Amino acid sequence: MAVVRYREALNQALREEMERDERVYLMGEDIGVFNGAYKVTAGLLEQFGEQRVRDTPISENTIVGLGVGSAMTGMRPIVELMTINFSLLALDQIVNHAAHIRYMFGGQVKVPMVIRMPQGAGHQLGPTHSHSFEALFLHVPGLLVAAPSTAADAKGLLKAAIRDDNPVIFIEHEYLYGQRGDVPDDGDHVVDFGEAAIRRAGDDVTLVGISRMAITAERAAQVLADEHDVSAEVIDPRTLRPLDLDTILASVRKTNRCVIVEEGWPHGGVGANLAALIQEQAFDHLDAPVGRVTGADVPMPYSKPLEQIAFPHEPQVVDAALATLRDV
């Protein structure tokens, strides 16, 4: 194992896959000379040259559209969008083209591309740079959706995404780029899609954390253990399409309670979808309604104090978990 930052783990995955397969190339705004807005692509231009690390104009629909076309003709593009909010400018290319072309062509054409983008609050970047849109892409058949919370998963899932023959929405959290973690240094660390991780075992309540909220859920579980003698099991789905629902349901059937934690908005969110699936398939095992902890139902504030209360922290998760343990 080696201890590396989340951004470094992503960089390793990109470098290794570009060395492994000459069809893999990168494009995006400021990813070359500037090394990327979050320095994920540092050093890759020098190693692979301008043909495989391509700085693009500021035009998300053009970047993604070019990626779709090149993927259809045999390349394996990795497109970096500077923030997930900017992906809204390319929704036609992502939804109508990338996600559906393989279906419309009867499987004769594949779209093996990865669209990388950061999201999330905490850096005072305002409402057009800070939201969490997992649920938007989760809604679309034909897309795979990954949201890794650790450095090891960031590397392993990105390598798996690059090798997949389907379009992958790869969501990174801005807060996580500088976080360190253990990453296997075996040279080919790949994490399969559709396999959730049990971050902490427990018996009293299941906490499901999405993206950075998996870490928040772990911290909340420690508070529950230390201050309330509550044993919480923490599950990180890691990928939302495909979703490892079996692991979540097995945990709920053991603990009989569940709280889902996400940074996105409450209406139509990932938590709403998971809560529906859990009550449909594990209703007889629930001793309390499925709890949800979400971001505030507002545009992300620029003000630092307001921004901090607009996304979940440990106290909200602890309160929600304790609420499921009260008589209902």
Structural domain boundaries of the chain? Answer: 2-183, 197-325
Angle in degrees, CA 90, 46, 80, rounded to 5? 15
pLDDT of residue 327: 56
Which of 164, 149, 142 has its CA nearest to residue 71? 164
**Close Cβ partners of 46 (under 8 Å, ≥ 6 residues apart):** none
- Are 121 and 216 a contacting pair, CB within 8 Å? no
Classify residue 10 by its DSSP letter: H
Between CA 37 and CA 35 the distance in angstroms is 7
- Are 310 and 295 a contacting pair, CB within 8 Å? yes
pLDDT of residue 249: 98
> Residue 78's beta-bridge partner residues?
26, 114
Domains 2-183 and 197-325 share a fold: yes
The one-letter code for the residue type at 230 is V
Question: HEC profile for 120-174?
Answer: CCCCCCCCCCCCCCHHHHHCCCCCEEECCCCHHHHHHHHHHHHHCCCCEEEEEEH
- Are 244 and 237 a contacting pair, CB within 8 Å? yes
> Residue 291's beta-bridge partner residues?
259
**Catalytic site residue 263?**
no
pLDDT of residue 23: 98
Classify residue 175 by its DSSP letter: G
- Are 79 and 115 a contacting pair, CB within 8 Å? yes
pLDDT along the chain (328 residues), means of 10: 95 97 97 95 97 96 97 98 96 97 96 97 90 96 98 98 98 96 90 98 98 98 98 98 98 98 96 97 97 96 95 98 85
pLDDT of residue 185: 85
Between CA 120 and CA 176 the distance in angstroms is 10
- Are 9 and 152 a contacting pair, CB within 8 Å? yes
pLDDT of residue 187: 74
- The matching CATH number, chosen from 3.30.1330.20, 1.10.10.10, 3.40.1280.10, 3.40.50.970, for 2-183 is 3.40.50.970
What is the sign of the dihedral through the CA atoms of 101, 102, 108 and 111?
A: positive
Architecture of the domain whose range is 197-325:
3-Layer(aba) Sandwich (3.40)
- Among 97, 129, 173, 189, the active-site one is 129
pLDDT of residue 186: 78
Two tokens at 134?
A: 């997992």
Angle in degrees, CA 270, 272, 273, rounded to 5? 65
Classify residue 236 by its DSSP letter: E
**Catalytic site residue 60?**
yes
Which of 105, 134, 169, 109 has its CA nearest to residue 270? 134
Q: How far is CA 190 from CA 54, 75, 134, 193, in A?
A: 25, 21, 22, 9
The per-residue DSSP string of 180-199 comes to EEEE--SS-----TT--EEE
- Among 29, 60, 172, 263, the active-site one is 60
pLDDT of residue 1: 86
Q: Quickly tell me which residue has 């649920």 as its tokens.
A: 135
The H-assigned helical ranges of 60-108 are 60-72, 91, 101-104
- Are 238 and 148 a contacting pair, CB within 8 Å? yes
What is the sign of the dihedral through the CA atoms of 191, 195, 200 and 201?
A: negative
Q: What is the dihedral of CA 177, 178, 179, 182, to 10 degrees?
A: 90
